[in-house]
Amino acid sequence: FGDFKVRVVYRSIIGNSGFHFRCTPIDHPVGLIGIQAEIDGRGWAVGGLYDTLKRGWLVQPDHNFVATYYKPKDWNEMIVEAKGRNVTVTVNDTVTAELKDDPGALEGHFALQLHGSDDVTVEFKTIELLH
């Protein structure tokens, strides 16, 4: 996928997950390189953007900000939109991360993250490609 808009409705019970996009599969235990919109049951950085195996945190929301929009152990709606070099993440109608003129990849795969070293329980109600 290149440009897209995806809506993910999820409930994170325990652990850390993410919605990866514009990713490239690699022969490495992590399995890919690319950006993820953070789904974090601990509520530390929900809706942030992390570049796996490259740049690290691109946008890491403050924990106090996360507490204003994230509903722990309840259903949350995340919208991730990428148009050209601009990326926006919205969680429960709050813009949580924006990248302008990002130098990263312009296309790639979608993936759901599962930290192999963590206990993770995340339920996905909807994963919908809006455009």
pTM to 2 decimals? 0.92
Residue 115: per-residue pLDDT: 65
- Contact status, residue 99 vs residue 83, Cβ threshold 8 Å: no
- Whose structure tokens read 């070099």? 85
Alpha helices (runs of H) in the chain, residue ranges in sequence order: 63-69
Q: Which residues contact 25 (CB under 8 A, 6 or more apart)?
A: 31, 32, 109
Residue pLDDT, tens place only, 84-122: 999 999 999 999 999 999 999 999 999 887 666 677 888
Which residues sit opposite 40 in a β-bridge?
A: 16
Residue 54 pLDDT exceeds 80: yes
